[in-house]
Amino acid sequence: MKKYRLSFLLPVLLFFPAFAGCASVQKHQVRSADDVPISYDVRGDGKPALVFVHGWCCDKSYWTFQVRHFEREYQVVTIDLAGHGESGLGRTEWTIEAFGGDVVAVIEKLNLDQVVLIGHSMAGFVIIEAARQIPDRVMGLVGVDTLHDFQTEYSREQIDEFISAFKKDFVRNTIMFVRGMFTSESNPDIVRRIAADMSSSPPEVGIGSLQGYFNYDVREALGEVLAPIYCINTDLFPTNVETNRQYALSFEVKLMPGMSHFIMIEDPETFNRLLDETIDELVQLSKLE
């Protein structure tokens, strides 16, 4: 469990009045395929169901602005992946395949048959894996500042060098890494809170998740994913749309220029509008099938 989870959320509640006054949440738990307790929350009703998946060293509270907005029209599900938030730690390998299985376990428990998967950062890979495992249930995928270039490759030396820094000092290097995800215009209070929260994650989970991320063959997985893929990305890193379309049957991107990696927190109004538009487009596409 994250020891700073509440210390992150409470200041954000004070800084963002929109976080206050949310309706009561239905908290649930399901066991993953490897018997780890997976925590998830459910709000609202309506189809398609929106399943939000957080990124590396985050948790389901990062979607608070989206829950409040989308629960009015849809069933909204937020998940803590294993090792994050309120979910269990009893896993030996923190792979993308296992995280995808966490999402699948929740979807199957709720018996959802029309799902839009929404994944931030590392969870771009996670939702692709979940869609690969249960293709008949997934209407579409929405990556949030992720999936910039499916051809990106790193050498084993580059990966080992990157991960070795976290092994030496996880807290310090996570703080530095997180700060690099923001722009010079980002609110420093948000930067401090997110850096403190993410750096408080269990090091074995954070390091293991990085290894799982780099080991995942996303191009191979995409060969089994039929659902259309959209991204809502910043311009911090270029999104290679034409290259990505070589691997995905359908790939589209909407941009939020000048924003940080955490667009759903820094500018929730714009992000929610773009996500609303994307969901509408996915619904229309499903009617054409």
Q: Give me the tens of pLDDT residue by residue for the chain, a chain 289 residues long.
A: 333 333 334 334 433 433 434 445 668 999 999 999 999 999 999 999 999 999 999 999 999 999 999 999 999 999 999 999 999 998 999 999 999 999 999 999 999 999 999 999 999 999 999 999 999 999 999 999 999 999 999 999 999 999 999 999 999 999 999 999 999 999 999 999 999 999 999 999 999 999 999 999 999 999 999 999 999 999 988 999 999 999 998 999 999 999 999 999 999 999 999 999 999 999 998 877 6
58 found inside a domain: yes
Return the DSSP state at 211.
H
Residue 8: the pLDDT is: 38
Number of domains in the chain: 1
121 found inside a domain: yes
Per DSSP bridges, beta strands 76-80 and 115-120 are unpaired
Residue 25: the pLDDT is: 61
Digit-coded pLDDT (tens) for 148-186: 999 999 999 999 999 999 999 999 999 999 999 999 999
246 found inside a domain: yes
116 found inside a domain: yes
- Total Cβ atoms within 10 A of residue 6: 12
Instruction: For residue 106, give every residue at least 6 positions away whose Cβ sits within 8 Å of its Cβ, in sequence order, or none.
Output: 30, 38, 40, 51, 77, 79
Residue 9: the pLDDT is: 40
Residue 158: the pLDDT is: 97
- Its pTM stands at 0.92
**CATH classification of the domain holding 39:** 3.40.50.1820
Residue 230: the pLDDT is: 98
Digit-coded pLDDT (tens) for 72-98: 999 999 999 999 999 999 899 999 999
171 found inside a domain: no
Residue 286: the pLDDT is: 83
Q: Report how far Cα 92 is from the mean position of its chain's Cα atoms.
A: 21
Per DSSP bridges, beta strands 26-31 and 251-255 are unpaired
Which long-range CB contacts under 8 A does 271-274 form with residues at least 24 apart?
Answer: 271/65, 271/66, 271/144, 271/232, 272/65, 272/66, 272/69, 272/70, 274/232
Instruction: For residue 151, give every residue at least 6 positions away whose Cβ sits within 8 Å of its Cβ, in sequence order, or none.
Output: 219, 240, 243
Q: Report how far Cα 229 is from the mean position of its chain's Cα atoms.
A: 14
Domain of residue 248: give its range: 23-153+216-288
45 found inside a domain: yes
Please name every residue paired with 138 in a beta bridge, in sequence order, or none if there are none: 115
Residue 54: the pLDDT is: 98
3 found inside a domain: no
d(CA 118, CA 187) in angstroms, rounded, equals 25
d(CA 113, CA 136) in angstroms, rounded, equals 8
221 found inside a domain: yes
Contact of 193 with 11, CB cutoff 8 Å = yes
